[in-house]
Amino acid sequence: MTTEIFRSTLSTLGLSRRRLLQTAGGAAAIAALGVRSAEAVLKIDITQGTIQPLPIAIPDFVAGQAAEAELGRNLSAVITNNLRRSGLFAPIDPAAFIEKIQNIDVAPRFQDWRVVNAQGLVTGRVTRQPDGRFRTEFRLWDVFAGQQLTGQQYFTQPEHWRRIAHIISDQIYERITGEKGYFDTRIVFVDETGPKDKRVKRLAIMDQDGAGVRYLTRGDDLVLTPRFSPTNQEVCYMSYGRGDPRVLLLNIETGQREVVGDFPGMTFSPRFSPDGFRVIMSLQQGSNTNIFTMDLRSRRTTRLTDAAAIDTAPSFSPDGRQICFESDRGGAQQIYVMNADGSNPRRVSFGQGRYSTPIWSPRGDTIAFTKQGSGSFSIGVMRADGSGERILTEGFHNEGPTWAPNGRVLMFFRDPGGNAGPHLFTVDVTGYNELKVPTPSYASDPAWSPLLS
């Protein structure tokens, strides 16, 4: 009877059994499809975040023996200082720590570190080796993920402990931010002492955090604008010795000095090419100043500009293909860019004011400069085609920007005027985190070395 009912219903509906089965089969197929494609996972877009320094905990490095305890503390102190000064990290006060790290080879109690809001944790150990060297190890932990991010060990002589601290800081910086660090670098600058009318200027070199100052010249001659070689431990600078100013090349390690070239007239603002084989500088000939390069191996000079104007402060791009320089051929000082062979000079700065001391960023995308206008001096950056000009700091009297090797931080000097002297300052390329660099006395004309490691 059931089948009778079934068949009669179907006939009333006008469906045949085959039709019904087909529909059922089709429906099942669609049903299977429908379930897979109708997966309604909630989707959210996050397009804004907050920029804030990463809270990181850096407890004292564990010492293998009691004698190394102070070294462990010093290492942590240098790393903490480096990371704090970068503006991207916020080291947590050690008084807030809960867990005391004794053994760095076991995982820390992450819950204790989460409680103090640390997102990163650096643990380290320093042990003296039988041959007198030190072995320094460190581990960087991601507290909320509960994992180690990176870990390294280094062997050095005891007197180089600062460099190890800087190298470890670079590792931490690079692992967290993705950019290369800039802590294992040095700054060469002009140290100024004495009253304003009788300033003694000496070339000096120090670590980027202000430690380990060493004087390279005695102060008999007036020295200006020192610049680092990208490849060797050499510095080229201007010296007002007897007669006209000359460009000199100084080897930092040996202290040997040589004159770059003997040119009639004055030479200014020397810089190295990215490959380290050429020095580019400006030469005065009569009322005209032009840009020349000199090959350090062959001592052959090539003239690059020939406008009837003052062209000075040249700077190579990191790929060595272009040169930016300062010229007043258009009336006032402006920034120009030309090819490395001197062809196609074009003006790139068009704002209100006078632009000077251009320096190309190691990243290759921006040029930093000094801008003078309406009574104030500003340090700014612009893209290589002149667009996107941004002022990072303004005041009286800022000058002479130099880039850190990762293109993120700029150092410049500021002279407040009056009887006081200039000091060095660093600022992040976003304009934030302006900090004073500690120097023994007044300082000017800084130049940042490339990474030492």
Partner 1 sequence: MRTGLAVSSIGHAVVLGWGLIAFAPAVFETPPTEAMPVDLVPISEFTQLQKGNKNAPKQEQAKQAAEKIAEAKQAPEKEHKPKEPEVKTAAAPPSPPPPPPEPTPPPQAKKEESKPEPKPAEVATPLPPKKLPPKPKTPDVAKQDTPQQKQRDFNPDKIAALLDRRQPNTQRAAEQPSQTAALGASMGNAPRLSQSEIDALRAQIQACWNPPVGAENAQDLIVHVRVKFRIDGTLSAEPEVLNRGSSPYFRVAVESAMRAVRRCQPYTLPAHKYEIWRDVEVAFDPKDMFGR
Shortest CB 349 distance to partner 1, Å = 19
Nearest to 30 by CA among 38, 41, 18, 19: 38
Return the number of the residue (99 or 142) whose C-beta is nearest partner 1.
142
Smallest distance from partner 1 to CB 222, Å? 39
Closest to partner 1 by CB, 5 vs 67, is 5
Least distance (Å) between residue 55 CB and partner 1: 10
Q: What does the block give as tokens for 124?
A: 């380290």
Look-up of token digits 């429906």: 27
Where do the DSSP E strands lie in 131-241?
Answer: 134-142, 147-156, 186-193, 200-207, 214-215, 222-228, 234-240
Nearer to partner 1, 344 or 430 (CB): 430
Min dist. Cβ of residue 388 to partner 1 (A)? 8
Q: What are the two backbone dihedrals, phi and then psi, of residue 169, each rounded to the nearest 5 degrees?
A: -60, -40
Pick 15 or 307: Cβ nearer partner 1: 15
Supply the minimum distance, in Å, between the C-beta of residue 425 and partner 1: 21
In whole angstroms, give the CA distance from residue 432 to residue 391: 11
The candidate with the shortest Cα–Cα distance to 185, out of 443, 441, 437, is 437
Comparison of 88 and 249: residue with beta carbon closer to partner 1: 88
User: What does 82-136 look like in DSSP terms, one character per residue?
Assistant: HHHHHSSEEEPPGGG--SPP--TTS---HHHHHHTT-SEEEEEEEEE-TTS-EEE
For residues 45 and 93, which CB has a smaller minimum distance to partner 1 in the complex? 45
Closest CA to 309 of 327, 324, 336, 297: 327
- Greatest CA span in the chain, whole angstroms? 126
Phi-psi region of 150 (alpha: psi -120 to 50; beta: other; left: phi over 0): beta
Question: Could you list the residues that contact partner 1 (CB under 8 A)?
Answer: 2, 5, 9, 12-13, 15, 23-24, 26-28, 30-32, 34-35, 38-52, 54, 88, 119, 142, 144-145, 149, 176-179, 363, 365, 388, 408, 430
- Please report how many Cα atoms fall inside a 13 Å half-sphere around the Cα of residue 418, on the Cβ side: 3
| Nearest-approach distance from CB 451 to partner 1, in angstroms | 16
Q: Which is nearer to partner 1, 256 or 430 (CB)?
A: 430
Q: How far is the CB of 52 from partner 1 (least distance, A)?
A: 6
User: CB of 384: closest distance to partner 1 in angstroms?
Assistant: 13
| CA 363 – CA 383 distance, rounded (Å) | 11
Q: Scanning the structure block, which residue is given the tokens 């070395």?
A: 449
The sign of the CA dihedral 436, 439, 440, 442 is negative
DSSP 61: P
Is-cis flag, bond preceding 423, omega within 30?
A: no
Q: 127 or 150: whose CB is closer to partner 1? A: 150
CB closer to partner 1 out of 49 and 132: 49
Tell me the closest approach of the beta carbon of residue 203 to partner 1, in angstroms.
32
The vertex-256 CA angle with 252 and 257, nearest 5°, equals 100
Tokens 């667009």 identify what position? 387
Give whichever of 201 and 408 is closer to partner 1, judged by the CB atom.
408
At CA 164, angle to CA 161 and CA 170, rounded to 5? 150
The answer to whether the beta carbons of residues 181 and 169 sit under 8 Å apart is yes
* Minimum gap (Å) between residue 72 Cβ and partner 1: 28
Shortest Å, Cβ 209 to partner 1: 21
| Shorter beta-carbon distance to partner 1: residue 5 or 66 | 5
